[in-house]
Amino acid sequence: MQDIIKKIFYESAEVKRQAFERNSVLIEQAAKLIIKSLEEGGKVMLFGNGGSAADSQHIAAEFIGRFQKERKSLAAIALSTDTSIITALGNDYSFDVIFSRQIEGLGRAHDVAIGLSTSGNSQNVIEAIKAAKRIGMATISLTGNDGGQIAKLTDVSLIVPAKNTARVQESHSCMAHIICELVENHFQAK
């Protein structure tokens, strides 16, 4: 068991190191897009499936509540939280539109859409990014492997260069926390 524990920690650290090297400038760009949106009265809309849905909710909570510092609440919403909307859209249309229909109804040009997908190929995330682009929203993606289709669609693509879903999600969480801290530092200073 100790060998497995050590292997996982070392693997996670190496994936995060590679993610840093690939994304440090892009993380700053993502934070700046979010800051600009929030300063213009916009909001952050996050979405993903499974663990990425949980990560979306986690990030939204950090913006609405606080990350580490006391400051005003920052407008953010995870589109995976309203089961009535999700099940109605899934039943009446298809699972592919559960996020895009919410973007269409709630999104505005000054908002930011953040799609999370470890594969980079989740169809409902792709459709939501396309809907956000039609509205004129800024788009950010957090993906894994080679970024998949989603990375090609977004303004800022944060790609974790790994195939293991758990390692990708661990790096997504780290990058999201960094973005939260950068955004929070900006608004806490005001």
pLDDT of residue 188: 85
pLDDT beyond 70 at 24: yes
Total Cβ atoms within 10 A of residue 71: 16
Which pLDDT tens digit goes with each residue over 88-136? 999 999 999 999 999 999 999 999 999 999 999 999 999 999 999 999 9
The mean of the pLDDT values for the chain is 96
Distance from C-alpha of 22 to C-alpha of 113, rounded to nearest angstrom? 21
pLDDT beyond 80 at 189: no
Edge-to-edge strands of the sheet including 156-160?
76-78, 44-47, 112-117, 138-144, 156-160
Distance from C-alpha of 81 to C-alpha of 91, rounded to nearest angstrom? 17
Domains, the chain, ordered by start:
2-188 (3.40.50.10490)
pLDDT beyond 70 at 190: no
Distance from C-alpha of 74 to C-alpha of 182, rounded to nearest angstrom? 13
Task: Give Cα separations from 22 to 18, 159, 163, 171, 188 (angstroms).
Answer: 6, 8, 15, 12, 28
| Section 74-98 average pLDDT | 97
The percent of residues in the chain predicted with pLDDT above 90, rounded, is 96
pTM of the predicted protein model: 0.96
Per the structure block, which two tokens stand in for 33? 């897009």
